Amino acid sequence: MSVDFDAMTAVVNLHRTGAVLELERRTAGMGASIRADACRGRATWEWCASSSGNGAWAQYGRAESVILDAAFQNKRSEVSLTIGAAISTYRVDLELMVQVNSRTGYRRLVRRRIQP
C-alpha cells in the first residue's frame, strides 16, 4: 500500500490489481460541522476518549445529548455542559465540533451520530 497525502489517495493491491482509494481528512472545523449537519434525526453525541483523536469514542449521557442536540438544531455555535460527580465544566464548540475543559483548556473531538 502507498499513501499520497498531497493528493489524498492511497493505492492498495487487491488480487494483483491496484485500487486507488480517495481519502478524506477527518479533523475539527467546518468539515466536521457540515458532516454533522447532514445527519438529521434522533442523534447520539460522543466525545473522543483517545488523546490522539483516533479510536475510542465515549457516549455522552442522555441528558447531555439532549442539551447538545437542542443547541445544534437551534444553530447555536456553542453550549456549556457540567458533567459528573466531579462537576467538570466543558464548553462544546458546535462549529469546530470540539469540547474544551473550562479549567484545563484540554480539547477533544466530539461527533453527532444518528441512531438507526
Is the pLDDT at 19 greater than 70? The verdict is: yes
Mean pLDDT of the chain: 80
pLDDT at 39 (0 to 100): 53
Phi, then psi, of 101 in degrees rounded to 5: -65, 120
Task: Give the residue, 83 or 18, on which the prediction is more confident.
Answer: 83
Cβ neighbours around 36 below 10 Å, total: 19
pLDDT at 46 (0 to 100): 93
pLDDT at 34 (0 to 100): 57
**Residues 44-82: tens digit of each pLDDT:** 899 998 877 677 899 999 889 999 999 998 999 999 998
108 pLDDT band, cuts 50/70/90, is very high
Contacts of 92 (CB under 8 A, 6+ apart): 68, 71, 78, 79, 80, 81, 98, 99, 100, 110
Query: What is the distance between the alpha carbons of residues 18 and 36, in angstroms, rounded to a whole number?
Result: 33
CATH number of 43-114: 3.30.720.50
pLDDT at 8 (0 to 100): 66
Region 91-114: mean pLDDT is: 92
